[in-house]
Amino acid sequence: MVKDGFYFLLPLLAAATLAASFHWVAVALVLTGAAAFVAWFFRDPHRRVPSDPATIVSPADGKVVRVDEVVGGNRIAIFLSVFDVHVNRAPIDGEIVRQEYRPGKFLVAWDDRATVENEQLLICLRGEGEIHFSLIAGLVARRIVPWKKAGDRVNRGDRIGLIRFGSRVDILIPAGCRLQVKLGDRVRGGESVLALWEGNP
């Protein structure tokens, strides 16, 4: 479990213990159930990161809800429900050259307006090529927690941040890359291959 989860878990466990001490069984059970959900939500499973340097891996767990051709390449949008792992990961090896926070709305994350209007953290990662992606808050997700900053070097699959309680991640795959996913696919952060570099990026 990621350490951010303890800020929610410990108060719930304390409240459940207090309720149990007063023999408020129903309340204690509800609070214990909520604590169990929080522990499960903030899980941080091990991932088998592909070793091939030509791979661009998914920065998030979830469902591919958009695959669009845009200026400069293809945009892939991944929707994370409250049932998905919310730890975000680096899609390639490289240096974070830009990280920009943009305040905004909290529209439902599957709404395409969320890409432009919602609170988000834009990240530019430069390695052999350059990848741009955005961690986007949703209706329930109200906080984006970055674990890295501009100037940090990361390896493919490294943990870079967390979006709390449901969200979306958009990633721009540069032109010349060969896509490996399609609309409706489910992907796993740091493990699923979104695309392959074609020759030298």
- Residues 13 and 110 placed together within one structural domain of the fold: no
Q: What is the model's pLDDT at position 201?
A: 45
Q: Can you give the pLDDT of all 201 residues of the chain as single tens digits?
A: 888 778 888 999 999 999 999 999 999 999 999 999 888 888 899 999 999 989 999 999 999 999 999 988 999 999 988 889 989 999 999 999 999 998 877 776 666 777 777 888 999 999 878 999 999 887 765 678 899 999 999 999 999 998 876 688 999 999 989 999 999 999 999 999 999 987 544
Q: What is the model's pLDDT at position 153?
A: 97
Give the Cα separation of 149 and 131 in Å (integer). Answer: 15
Is 21 annotated as catalytic?
no
| Domain annotation covers residue 49 | no
C-alpha R_g of the chain: 18
Grouping H, G, I as helix, E, B as strand and the rest as coil, residue 20 is helix
CATH code, domain with 87:
2.70.70.10
Catalytic residue among 58, 134, 167, 192: 167
Burial class (CB in 10 A: 0-12, 13-18, 19+), 130: middle
- Residues 186 and 146 placed together within one structural domain of the fold: yes
| Domain annotation covers residue 31 | yes
Note whether 159 and 147 are within 8 A (CB).
Answer: yes
- Residues 20 and 101 placed together within one structural domain of the fold: no
Structurally, the chain folds into a number of domains equal to 2
Note whether 57 and 157 are within 8 A (CB).
Answer: yes
Distance of CA 44 to the CA centre of its chain: 12
Q: What is the model's pLDDT at position 142?
A: 65
Tokens of 97: 């050259």
Distance of CA 179 to the CA centre of its chain: 20
Question: Rounded to two decimals, what is the model's pTM?
Answer: 0.85
- Residues 181 and 85 placed together within one structural domain of the fold: yes
